[in-house]
Structure 1
Amino acid sequence: MCVFALGTASSETVMPRMTQKLRRAGCRDDAVGLVLPTGYSFNLDGASICLSIGTLFIAQAVGVDLTLGRQITVVLVLMLTSKGMAGVPGSAFLAPSATASALGVIPAGAVALLLGVDRVMDAMRVATDLLGNCAAVFVVSRWEGALDRDRAAQALKRAGPARP
């Protein structure tokens, strides 16, 4: 399943299968049905991390010294711009150029430095987003008392198929 997500460069392609697996792993339907789809729009951890690191790399590569305040601004802007990338494979490459233009310090053309490694970075973004969304479902299920711990332990140990 993770290979399919990496191959399509989108964690949304495996959402129906993840929904089934999380339900079989002991998470209640209402928690899975609310948290997982919401996570695909608002819990893009991998995108935020990769974009922030990529933008800071670009600044360093072109010799721009960013103050701590500018670095924090970069991270905050990218946290916001990453929210609009859900469902569009490869769209994460556009956010650093928009951020570079918004800051006015980093040349927007320097974003091309990331083009050669964007496919590898995209795979890491997808994997991190997928795992982050699954972890969020488990955390919210636990908080709400909607987690069947025995089924979760069985599914996580791979002791056998967890049946509803």
Structure 2
Amino acid sequence: MLGAIAFTTGKYGVASLKQLGLLVIVFYASCIAFVVIVLGAVMKLAGFSVFKLIRYLREELLIVLGTASSDAVLPQVMRKLEWMGVKDSTVGLVIPTGYSFNLDGFSIYLTLAVLFIAQATNTPLSVHDLIVVLLVSLVTSKGAHGIPGSAIVILAATLSAIPALPVLGLVLILPVDWFVGIARALTNLLGNCVATIVVAVWEHDIDRARAQRVLNEELRYVPAGDESPRGAISDGGAHAL
């Protein structure tokens, strides 16, 4: 990361760091707006609060904040959703699938990154190009995983769909990839958790009363050491206080 910052500063000047900083700010603002407005509305329709869900998953979100990877908390998230009252069959299907196919943060990032590179290289994009970017990003983001730095590979595939855009332009945003990767991972994780709850509500695979008690912190989750996610509830892996 430091090497990328040094290269960008040396080649394009210190002023480029200001533009990269604005990119980070816009991306974080976009992710926050997506979580609050879009995911908040979806959770509201499902009968829950996205803010209470964030509070419930605060420990996992802090881990993602430090690692920039949602993979680090996959077992804990599955265990917590089961403890919340979602059937293990729904959790076991939606969460792993969402880790590859429901990457909200990736989709937001790819769109902003392409627009940033187009402006930085003074490359005009037509309406057709913008539509192509949107459609291609929806495809290339699928199958990506929560590994730090993987977005660069996905972005390269997206840029190749627009001949006018130089693929090497991704070097411009490489210095801030770690910083935007944190917001990407957090948004991906929250999107997958919300999707799991919504699917569970749709399929009547959730105990609503228990879920409300858990989100209201009337029923607290206690980790069970080394027990497996599937045994967290049935074997006494989590207990109410």
Normalising by structure 2, report the TM-score: 0.64
1:56 aligns with 2:115: yes
Gap regions ≥5 residues in structure 2: 1-59, 222-238
Question: What letter is aligned with 1:118?
Answer: D
Distance in structure 1 (CA, Å) of the matches to 2:96 and 2:157: 26
Aligned length: 164
Asked which structure has the greater CA Rg, the reply is 2
Q: 1:156 aligns with which of 207, 211, 215?
A: 215
Counterpart of 1:67 (choices 118, 121, 126) is 126
Q: Secondary structure at the match of 1:103?
A: coil
1:114 corresponds in structure 2 to 173
**Letter aligned with residue 185 of structure 2:** V
Q: Identity percentage over the alignment?
A: 46
Q: Is this contact kept in 2: 1:23–1:32, CA < 8 A?
A: yes
2-structure distance, mates of 1:6, 1:84: 22
Instruction: Report what 1:126 is aligned to.
Output: 185
Amino acid at match of 1:101: S
Q: CA deviation at 1:142?
A: 0.1
Deviation at 1:13, TM superposition (A): 1.5
Separation in 1 of the partners of 2:89 and 2:200?
9
Instruction: Answer 1 or 2: which has greater helix percent.
Output: 1
Whether the 8 Å CA contact 1:9–1:90 is kept in 2: the answer is no
Counterpart contact for 1:10–1:87, Cα < 8 Å = yes
Cα shift at 1:110? 1.4
**After TM superposition, what 4+ stretches of structure 1 lie above 3 angstroms from structure 2?**
none
Q: Distance in 1 between matches of 2:146 and 2:112?
A: 22
> Match of 1:6?
65
Output the amino acid matched with 2:83.
R
Sort the Cα spacing of 1:153 and 1:32 in 2 relative to 1 into closer, same or farther, 3 A: same
> Higher relative CO (CA 8 A, sep ≥ 6), structure 1 or 2?
1
Q: Distance in 2 between matches of 1:96 and 1:86?
A: 13
